[in-house]
Structure 1
Amino acid sequence: MMVEPSLVLFYVASAITLGGALGVVLTRNIVYASFALLAAMMGVAGVFLLVFAEFLALVQILIYGGAVVIVLLFALMLTRLEDFQNLTDHRQWPIAAVISIGLFALLVTAIVTTSVRTTEPQSIDFETLGETLFTQWAIPFEVASLVLLVALIGSIVLVRTDGDRD
């Protein structure tokens, strides 16, 4: 019995994604969690490549794998650690566990009850995608850019020192 190379690559990318996600959740060091998040995002990009979604893989690597992790690391470097010293209260974990189990059950139910329709994949080049993005989807694109701008301004306000807040 011959094993398909694409199936092996899918399992490798899935293992990287799941390992990175577990690293994000289970590690206590936030820097290690950031690098685990980077590994998880790269695994997702690998899955996108395996299903021939090159644009999504590129966006996954550039935006999520690069920019989000770098912004998180910069925020960690610029945040005053003494503000977070008293955050060791773990009384909310039972409520979080119940909510997580409920959401997981809802997700499994949605996956099991949804029928999957297959369609023929259509090939779209980057030029057509860019033209559609800036003509038909121009307003949602600009709204997304405004949301990112507000998030950037909010992060700048959060990392300012107390002397700058006058």
Structure 2
Amino acid sequence: MSIAAASHGFLSPTGVEIAFLLVGLVTFGAALVTVTTRQLVHAALWLVVALGGLAVEYLLLTAEFIAWVQVLIYVGSVVVLLLFGLMLTKAPIGRSPDADSGNRWAALAVAVAAATALVWVVVDAFRTTWIDLDGAAAGSTKVTGESLFRNWVLPFEALSVLLLAALVGAIVLSRKAKAAAPAAARTPGAHDDRGAKEGAR
């Protein structure tokens, strides 16, 4: 245990720890609204708030490199990709009843189980680890980059392929919608209705 950990306990938190807790609560609230709202555009915008809150949490933990990567990749790429997908597929802008699957209790049970497992793993792995928030940064950009591109390069590349597939799928769906519109206009029923309207005139 470091000197920073021994100087104060849980009953005397520092300003950084209070800010970390407040930002965490805002991030949790934004994530909750993201998965409960029935408006797709609002969900994407609240996702920006949640991911931005995580970036602030990384900054408070003196992990500046991870914070900026969070902003550049997730806020600047993933959310923009979601918004482009919504625009290309002409998703409904307003309230959409189809956004609710009806399996909220099952989803809540899975979310609680996953959160419990994640918290247990993190607490068990870092039970005696303390971060000196008032000192220098614990991990440099060089160390983080080497760990990322040596040990986690395959998931990193798989994520980029997944994002590319999502963008291509959005473009394909938008082209199918455009091709279906002229086909519907050329149907015999449409001509009959047009002829009946002209005869009535």
Q: Structure 2 length normalisation: TM-score?
A: 0.61
Structure 2: 5+ residue stretches without partners? 1-10, 181-201
Q: What amino acid is aligned across from residue 19 of structure 2 in structure 1?
A: L
State the superposition RMSD in angstroms.
3.7
Q: What amino acid is aligned across from residue 148 of structure 1 in structure 2?
A: S
Q: CA deviation at 1:20?
A: 1.1
Matched, 1:26 2:40: no
Matched, 1:125 2:134: no
Change (3 A) 1:93 1:11: closer
Work out the CA distance in 2 between the residues paired with 1:111 and 1:144: 22
Q: What amino acid is aligned across from residue 124 of structure 2 in structure 1?
A: T
Larger relative CO (CA 8 A, sep 6+): 1 or 2? 2
Q: 2:73 aligns with which of 63, 77, 87?
A: 63
Change (3 A) 1:97 1:40: closer
Q: What amino acid is aligned across from residue 59 of structure 2 in structure 1?
A: L
Change (3 A) 1:25 1:92: closer
What is the identity percentage for the equivalent residue pairs of Structure 1 and Structure 2? 27
Q: CA deviation at 1:41?
A: 0.8
Structure 1: 5+ residue stretches without partners? none
Structure 2 residue aligned with 1:45: 55
Aligned residues: 158
Work out the CA distance in 1 between the residues paired with 2:12 and 2:113: 40
Greater radius of gyration (CA): 2
Structure 1 residue aligned with 2:153: 141
Q: Is the partner of 1:114 in helix, strand or coil?
A: helix
Change (3 A) 1:5 1:88: closer
Work out the CA distance in 1 between the residues paired with 2:83 and 2:48: 11
Q: CA deviation at 1:16?
A: 2.1
Q: CA deviation at 1:44?
A: 0.8
Paired residues of 2:78 and 2:163 also in contact (CA < 8 A): no
